[in-house]
Amino acid sequence: LGWNSSRFDIALLWDALDCELWTMGAPIGDLNNTKSITVTHKMSHMKLQFIDAENLFGQMILKACVKDYADKSEHKDEFSYEIINSNN
């Protein structure tokens, strides 16, 4: 789950996820304004869904989005992009 981060996320993940081990689904939106994209690992069938919440749900603050859609804390974590690469 990103917050207004689709261009940044897709640019970083495209090379790592568009390879022989992962299948990239069709994005919701386009590659310049991606709202959501799902990738599937070909061997384990694990699916990862990357969501840009502000683009998908519309203009709102992070706290309101979390309250409305996740019922969780609005604590914002870091995602280590290095854990996903073309070798795994």
Q: Which two tokens stand for residue 11?
A: 């640019």
Q: Tens of pLDDT along 51-86?
A: 777 777 777 777 777 777 666 665 666 666 666 666
- Indicate the DSSP class of residue 44: T
8 Å CB contact between 25 and 31? no
Q: Which two tokens stand for residue 8?
A: 């940044």
The predicted model scores a pTM of 0.58
Percent of the chain with pLDDT over 90: 5
Q: What is the spatial distance between Cα 88 and Cα 84, in angstroms, rounded to a whole number?
A: 7
Helix (H, G, I), strand (E, B) or coil at 58: coil
Contacts of 75 (CB under 8 A, 6+ apart): none
Q: Which residue has the tokens 């990239």?
A: 24
The pLDDT of 35-47, averaged and rounded, is: 88
**pLDDT value of residue 15:** 67
